[in-house]
């Protein structure tokens, strides 16, 4: 599958307000590559700076559901046009996508980060700003995917170890961001922006008693813990052998040019968290509004999600399905007479998990008719317990009852 960048001019179209409405279908003008854009292709939405000095860069992700064809603008998108003209009123070649995720402000992949990135600085839309549709190379697609997973998320211990390695390799020298520098190499290895690794290096410099008064404040608890793990106060030096060994253990087998279908293990948790975050945003809408969006999307999107290659298989999840499942059950376990203890999240919502009754790996659909809201204990039991078959049959009966009732029903 190909990965594309579709570009929006905020002076002409209020892309932020439009995406905030979480449209079920996203039509987009296609001025080039109409014969190459295909169903299943990934699209990153790029917002230009415009006159309002918006942060330029990637702000959302979508998947193509309809090949480019002559069609009128979606009536739900018309109110967001800021300028009258043929693009907003006349039938033109457009493709349709479903919205996978919209970035929060700290998750935007910024244009200036791309400009200094060894791989992304050659993005077609950076070299030729005028246009609507731009292809990416497989290498650029892989790099975008890695950054899209991690940007805006706290650094893990594994990433902090890599950041410390970059610090160790630059210690005593000016810290460069050039493509051949340790900072850039580590950024490509761990899927972080070059500027982000640079800041992490400067955070470690602020922790280093040998560099008193230098560096940048803002080191995290993970940074401090990693520093204490590998810095030897007695010798005033880093334990380089231990650090190198741990870096190689964590990152040494990271494929630098994996195919676009490969998901590195370190990305999996970030991908899952991003999907759950989008589902939580969708839950701010009413249950009925979510159902309207889901039904509008139903004819456009396959309920057999794309599979990614890992040590095991992972599947792309539809956050709309997750949001509907949890609201439908009022965030409670759907197993009859569930008495397992529960807890509330930081958002004050009862914690539950969304389970596929027929597993995706067995051909099950990522649809609201094939998911149930379960407490963590019943989620594990349905997979591993002796009552697995019994619980599965119970959940199948509940969903069939929904269908007999004419559709999804909400539990009060």
**Same-domain status, 224 and 274:** no
**Same-domain status, 81 and 200:** no
Which residues span the domain enclosing 376?
265-404
Contact between 180 and 203 under an 8 Å Cβ cutoff? The reply is no
Q: How far apart are the first and last CA of the chain?
A: 42
| Integer Cα distance of 127 and 137 in angstroms | 14
> pLDDT 10s per residue in the chain (412 long)?
899 999 999 999 999 999 999 898 899 999 999 999 999 899 999 999 988 888 999 999 999 999 999 998 888 888 998 876 545 567 899 999 989 899 999 999 999 999 999 999 999 999 887 889 999 999 999 999 999 988 998 898 989 999 999 999 999 899 999 998 999 999 999 999 999 999 999 999 999 999 877 889 889 999 999 999 999 999 999 999 999 999 998 887 554 443 434 444 445 555 666 676 777 778 888 888 888 888 877 766 656 555 443 333 445 678 889 999 999 999 999 999 999 888 888 878 888 999 999 887 666 888 999 999 999 899 989 888 889 899 999 999 999 887 766 666 666 5
Contacts of 195 (CB under 8 A, 6+ apart): 112, 113, 116, 177
**Same-domain status, 366 and 324:** yes
Q: Which of 131, 129, 110, 130 is nearest to 120 (CA)?
A: 110
User: What token pair was written down for 310?
Assistant: 């890992």
Indicate the number of domains in the chain.
3
Contact between 324 and 291 under an 8 Å Cβ cutoff? The reply is yes
Whole-structure pTM over 0.85, yes or no? Answer: no
Contact between 46 and 57 under an 8 Å Cβ cutoff? The reply is yes
Predicted local distance difference test score (pLDDT) of residue 293: 80
| Integer Cα distance of 81 and 79 in angstroms | 6
**Same-domain status, 8 and 102:** yes
Contact between 399 and 368 under an 8 Å Cβ cutoff? The reply is no
**Same-domain status, 198 and 117:** no
CA atoms within 13 A on the CB side of 286: 3
**151 assigned to some structural domain:** no
**What is the full DSSP assignment across 61-109?**
EEEEEEEEEEEPPPTTTGGGBSS-SHHHHS-EEEEEEEEEEE--GGG-E
**162 assigned to some structural domain:** yes
Predicted local distance difference test score (pLDDT) of residue 264: 47
Predicted local distance difference test score (pLDDT) of residue 168: 96
User: What token pair was written down for 38?
Assistant: 């295909």
**187 assigned to some structural domain:** yes
**Same-domain status, 94 and 11:** yes
CA atoms within 13 A on the CB side of 322: 21
**Same-domain status, 276 and 390:** yes
User: What token pair was written down for 215?
Assistant: 């560096």
Q: Which of 27, 21, 43, 40 is nearest to 290 (CA)?
A: 21
**285 assigned to some structural domain:** yes
Residue 233, helix vs strand vs coil: coil
**Same-domain status, 207 and 176:** yes
Which of 136, 171, 205 is at the close of a domain? 136
**Same-domain status, 112 and 218:** no
Which letter does DSSP use for residue 194 in this model?
H
Contact between 45 and 62 under an 8 Å Cβ cutoff? The reply is yes
**Same-domain status, 131 and 18:** yes
Q: How far is CA 147 from the centre of its chain?
A: 9
**Same-domain status, 180 and 131:** no
**142 assigned to some structural domain:** no
Predicted local distance difference test score (pLDDT) of residue 313: 40
**78 assigned to some structural domain:** yes
**Same-domain status, 108 and 174:** no
| Integer Cα distance of 276 and 327 in angstroms | 14
**259 assigned to some structural domain:** no
Which of 251, 273, 308 is at the close of a domain? 251
**148 assigned to some structural domain:** no
| Integer Cα distance of 281 and 289 in angstroms | 13
Which of 198, 216, 251 is at the close of a domain? 251
Predicted local distance difference test score (pLDDT) of residue 4: 97
Cβ-in-10-Å burial (0-12, 13-18, 19+) of 307 comes to middle
């Amino acid at each position: 599958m190909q990965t594309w960048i579709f570009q929006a001019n905020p002076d002409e179209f209020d892309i932020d307000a439009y995406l905030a409405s979480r449209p079920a279908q996203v039509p987009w003008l296609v001025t080039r590559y109409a014969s190459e854009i295909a169903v299943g292709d990934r699209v990153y939405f790029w917002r230009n700076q415009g006159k309002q000095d918006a942060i330029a860069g990637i702000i959302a992700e979508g998947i193509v559901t309809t090949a480019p064809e002559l069609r009128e603008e979606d009536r739900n998108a018309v109110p967001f046009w800021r300028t009258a003209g043929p693009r907003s009123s006349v039938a033109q070649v457009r493709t349709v996508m479903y919205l996978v995720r919209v970035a929060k402000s700290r998750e935007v992949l910024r244009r200036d980060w791309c400009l200094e990135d060894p791989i992304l600085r050659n993005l077609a839309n950076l070299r030729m700003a005028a246009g609507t549709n731009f292809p990416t190379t497989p290498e650029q697609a892989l790099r975008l995917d890695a950054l899209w997973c991690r940007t805006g998320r706290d650094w893990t211990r594994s990433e902090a170890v890599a950041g410390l390695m970059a610090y160790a390799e630059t210690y005593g020298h000016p810290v460069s961001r050039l493509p051949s520098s340790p900072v850039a190499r580590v950024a490509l290895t761990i899927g972080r922006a070059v500027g982000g690794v640079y800041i992490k290096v400067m955070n470690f410099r602020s922790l280093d008693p040998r560099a008193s008064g230098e560096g940048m404040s803002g080191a995290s608890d993970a940074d401090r813990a990693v520093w204490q793990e590998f810095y030897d106060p007695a010798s005033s030096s880093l334990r380089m052998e231990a650090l190198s060994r741990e870096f190689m253990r964590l990152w040494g087998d990271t494929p630098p040019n994996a195919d676009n279908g490969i998901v590195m293990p370190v990305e999996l948790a970030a991908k899952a968290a991003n999907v759950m975050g989008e589902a939580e945003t969708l839950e701010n809408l009413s249950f009925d509004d979510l159902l309207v969006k889901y039904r509008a999307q139903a004819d456009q999107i396959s309920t057999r999600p794309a599979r990614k290659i890992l040590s095991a298989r992972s599947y792309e999840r539809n956050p709309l399905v997750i949001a509907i499942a949890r609201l439908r059950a009022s965030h409670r376990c759907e197993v009859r007479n569930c008495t397992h203890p529960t807890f509330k999240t930081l958002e004050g919502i009862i914690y539950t998990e969304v389970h596929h009754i027929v597993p995706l790996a067995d051909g099950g659909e990522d649809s609201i008719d094939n998911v149930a809201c379960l407490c963590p204990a019943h989620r594990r039991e349905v997979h591993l317990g002796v009552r697995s078959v019994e619980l599965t049959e119970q959940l199948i009966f509940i969903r069939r009852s929904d269908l007999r009732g004419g559709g999804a029903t909400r539990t009060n």
